[in-house]
Chains A and B, each alone.
Chain A
Amino acid sequence: MSLEDNYLITVGLEVHTELRTKTKLFCGCANEFGAEPNTNTCPVCLGLPGSLPVVNRKAVEYAMRIGTALNCEIKHSVFHRKNYFYPDMPKDYQVTQYDEPTCINGYIELPITGKVVNIVRAHIEEDTGKSTHIGTSGRITGADYSLVDYNRSGIPLVEIVSAPDMVSGEEAREYVSELRSILVATGATDGKMEEGSLRVDANVSVRKVGTDELGTRCEIKNLNSLRSLVRAITYEARRQMEIVDGGGKVTQETRHWNEDLGRTSSLRSKEEAYDYRYFPEPDLSPLDPSVEEIEAIKANLGALPPKRRAALVELVGDSPSKSEIEQIQTVINFDLDDLIFAGIEKGVPAKLSLARCANEVAGLITGLDESYLVPSEKLLEVLVKESLGELTPTQSKAVLARVVADRAIDVAALIAELGFVASSSDEMDSLVGEIIAESPSEWERYLSGEDQLAGFFVGKAMKKSGGKANGKLVSKSLNDRRSQIQG
Chain B
Amino acid sequence: MSDAQFVEMSAVDIAAGVRSGAFSAVEVVTAHLKQIESYDHEVKAFVTQMSDRALEAARAVDEKRARGEELGALAGVPVALKDNMAYRGVETTCSSKILRGWIPPYTATVVERLEAAGAIAIGKTNLDEFAMGSSTENSAFFPTRNPIDLNRVPGGSSGGSAASVAARFAPIAIGSDTGGSIRQPASLCGVVGVKPTYGLVSRYGLIAFASSLDQIGPFARSVEDSSLVLDVISGHDERDSTSLSGRSYDHQASDGGIEGLRVGVITEMMDGLSDSVNKALAQAIESLRSMGALVDEVSVPAAKFGLTAYYLIAPAEASSNLARFDGVRYGLRVEGKDMNETYELTRGQGFGPEVKRRIMLGTYALSAGYYDALYGKAQKVRTLIANDFDAAYSNYDVLISATSPTVAFEFNAKSDPLSMYMSDVCTIPSNLAGHPAMSVPFAGDEDGLPIGIQVLAPSFGESVMFKVASALEAAAKYRAVPQWASTEK
Contacts and interface: CB of A to CB of B under 8 A. Distances in A.
Residues of B contacting A: mostly: loop
Interface stretch (B57-65, B181-189, B324-332): B324-332
Interface string B280-317: 00000000000000000000000000000000000011
B241 A50 contact: no
B324 A54 contact: no
Contact of B326 (A50, A92, A279, A282): A92
A456 interface: no
A50 B108 contact: yes
B367 A275 contact: yes
B366 A85 contact: no
Nearest to A279: B366
Contacts of B212: 282
Contact of B104 (A47, A50, A55, A87): A50
Contact of B241 (A42, A52, A81, A148): A52
Nearest to B331: A49
A283 B324 contact: no
Contacts of B360: none
A53 interface: yes
Contact of B324 (A49, A53, A55): A49
A43 B105 contact: yes
A54 B239 contact: yes
Contacts of A270: 340
A85 B205 contact: no
B240 A52 contact: yes
A57 interface: no
Contacts, number: 104
A283 B207 CA distance: 13
A91 B343 CA distance: 13
A278 B363 CA distance: 11
Nearest to B316: A279
A contact face: mostly helix, strand, loop, or mixed: loop
* Interface size range on B against A: 35 or more
B265 interface: no
A420 interface: no
Interface residues of A, number: 32
Contacts of A47: 324, 329
Interface string B99-120: 1001011101000000000000
A90 B324 contact: yes
B84 to A, nearest CB: 8
A54 B241 contact: yes
Given A81-B320, A279-B320, A48 B104 contact: yes
Nearest to A145: B339
A58 to B, nearest CB: 16
B94 interface: yes
A284 interface: yes
Contacts of B363: 277
B104 A91 contact: no
B323 A52 contact: no
Contacts of B240: 52, 54
A55 B375 CA distance: 25
Contacts of B330: 48-49
Contact of A43 (B106, B241, B340, B371): B106
A283 B85 contact: no
B106 A48 contact: yes
B367 A92 contact: no
Contact of B99 (A49, A51, A278): A49
Contacts of A285: 241-242
Contacts of B326: 85, 87, 92
Contacts of A157: none
A50 B328 contact: no
A234 interface: no
Most buried by B among A42, A92, A275, A282: A282
Contacts of B328: 87, 90, 148
Given A49-B102, A50-B204, A93 B320 contact: yes
A105 B244 CA distance: 34
B324 A92 contact: yes
Given A43-B105, A50-B86, A55-B241, A277 B367 contact: yes
A87 B339 CA distance: 8
A52 B199 CA distance: 13
Given A51-B204, A87-B328, A283 B211 contact: yes
A54 B239 CA distance: 6
Max chain A C-beta neighbours (<10 A), residue from B106, B239, B241, B319:
B241
Contacts of A423: none
Given A282-B212, A282-B317, A50 B239 contact: no
B208 interface: yes
A91 to B, nearest CB: 5
A228 interface: no
A81 B363 CA distance: 13
Interface in B353-410: 363, 366-368, 371, 375
Contact of B323 (A48, A54, A92, A275): A92
A273 B92 CA distance: 36
Given A52-B241, A285-B242, A279 B324 contact: no
25 contacts: A43-B105, A46-B329, A48-B86, A48-B106, A49-B86, A49-B99, A49-B324, A49-B325, A50-B85, A50-B86, A51-B204, A54-B241, A55-B241, A81-B320, A83-B366, A85-B326, A85-B343, A92-B326, A93-B320, A270-B340, A277-B367, A279-B366, A279-B371, A279-B375, A285-B242
* 8 A-B pairs with the lowest CB-CB distances in the bound complex, closest first: A92-B323, A277-B366, A282-B212, A282-B211, A49-B207, A50-B205, A50-B86, A50-B207
Given A48-B329, A50-B86, A270-B340, 20 more contacts: A43-B104, A47-B324, A48-B86, A49-B102, A49-B207, A50-B104, A50-B205, A51-B106, A52-B241, A54-B239, A81-B320, A83-B319, A90-B328, A93-B320, A93-B323, A146-B339, A277-B319, A279-B316, A282-B242, A283-B211
Interface of A: 42-43, 46-55, 81, 83, 85, 87, 90-93, 146, 148, 270, 273, 275, 277-279, 282-285
